[in-house]
Amino acid sequence: MTNVPASRGIRQGESGNLSGPASTSWTGQKGTPTRLLLLRHGQTALSVDRRYSGRADPELTELGLAQAAGVAAGIAAVEGTEQVSAAYCSPLRRARRTAEPVAAALGVPVADHNGLLETDFGEWDGLTFAEARERDPELHRSWLGDETVRPPAGESFAAVGQRVGRLREELLAAHPGETLLLVSHVTPIKMLLRMALDVGPSVLYRLHLDLASLSVAEFYPDGGASVRLVNGRFPVTSTVSSRA
């Protein structure tokens, strides 16, 4: 994996919670980067049961709403968030309901963008890992090792990568040197981190992103990139189980 310079601009404590702002570190790249704040949506009933959740459109659970509120309450502690100029989210409800309070806290409107949609898991949508494997054992095995394989009536990870790549190019052209909030799902966020790290598809299977977690990637006009944060979490005040 490509070595990424450590950043003091956003710090993360031992608990994984975000801490206060600090000075920006040198990255070695040229020009002002476009910074992407990559926020995964909060909890849904499908995520509680560890079910594939692609184009299904469940609402946030009570905990999911609390997670979104926790991000909104803590987002100002992340360095540079006062410079957020625009917010985009997947049009699915779990992303939109997460984005709205966070964008309101940042003082920017939210626009839907289909490029931020989750993978279409097709006929596996709503199934657990074990159920999908039992239903289509050979296909499921191939899918886990080959990003060009797609679920039945679904979308391959390679196709998601192409879609997210077009999104990235569109945003970099429209918002050069700006800071953007993107509220999406686990696969599109992993794809953007993969692009910033310039690594292969294995990262899609080895990188864990919690619900309502924040990652930060920067893309420079000279073609360079850096990842400043992965899976940063915000405190949540809720009596509901925090099971993801």
Beta bridge partners of 21: 10
Cα gap 102→82, rounded to integer Å: 12
pLDDT at position 142: 95
Spell out the residues 6+ positions from residue 78 whose beta carbon is closer than 8 angstroms to its own: 10, 18, 21, 37, 214, 216, 232
Cα gap 144→150, rounded to integer Å: 10
| Alpha-carbon distances of 55 from 75, 123, 152, 159, rounded to whole Å | 27, 11, 14, 15
pLDDT at position 7: 31
Angle at the Cα of 229 (from 147 to 96), degrees rounded to 5?
Answer: 70
Catalytic residue, from 79, 118, 147, 155: name it.
118
Is 41 marked active-site?
yes
pLDDT at position 28: 64
Cα gap 34→31, rounded to integer Å: 10
pLDDT at position 19: 43
Spell out the residues 6+ positions from residue 73 whose beta carbon is closer than 8 angstroms to its own: 105, 234
Spell out the residues 6+ positions from residue 183 whose beta carbon is closer than 8 angstroms to its own: 39, 40, 41, 87, 88, 89, 90, 95, 96, 98, 99, 102, 110, 116
Cα gap 61→65, rounded to integer Å: 6
Is 140 marked active-site?
no
What pTM does this model have?
0.86
pLDDT at position 217: 97
Residue 105, CA atoms < 13 Å, CB-side half-sphere: 18
| DSSP classification of residue 239 | S
C-alpha dihedral (34, 101, 69, 80), degrees to nearest 10: 30
Cα gap 224→27, rounded to integer Å: 10
Catalytic residue, from 41, 113, 140, 185: name it.
41
Q: 219: closest CA among 23, 79, 20, 29?
A: 29
Per-run averaged pLDDT (10 residues), the chain, 244 residues:
30 41 52 96 96 94 97 93 96 98 97 98 96 97 95 97 98 97 98 96 93 97 94 81 46
